[in-house]
Amino acid sequence: MAITYSWTIEQLQTFSNDENTGIVYVASYLFSGTDGQYGGGVYGSESIAYTPNDPNFIPYANLTEAEVLTWVQTALGANKISEMQNDIDLQIQNQINPLPVPSPLPWIK
């Protein structure tokens, strides 16, 4: 099977200034992957850049998860996202093919 990846925004932290309220400055996310019954994920938080008087400012009430995900993914960059995807792949592979676990010696109690 192939791994299916998904993103979810879990939490937003905001501040207000004289011009705007609900300015997002941190977004917490979950990047996860599933392969049948197996799954893995990476949880993190990313700072979101804000430029005062930004003509593209979106009021908090009008934000969509897709817009915030774009901010997070842009801030993370392609290399970091690739590293996170590799981590999820490894988590799943370790579930499919678990690493050997040393057994305790039966004569030691």
- HSE-CB for 1 with a 13 A CA cutoff: 14
Q: pLDDT (tens digit, 0 to 9) for every residue of the chain, 109 residues total?
A: 699 999 999 999 999 988 888 999 999 999 999 999 999 999 999 999 887 778 888 989 999 999 999 999 999 999 999 999 999 999 999 999 998 888 999 998 7
What's the pLDDT at 55?
84
The ranges assigned to domains in the chain are 4-96
Phi, psi (deg, nearest 5) at residue 76 = -70, -45
What's the pLDDT at 20?
85
Q: What is the C-alpha to C-alpha distance for residues 98 and 93, in angstroms, rounded to an integer? A: 8
What's the pLDDT at 1?
66
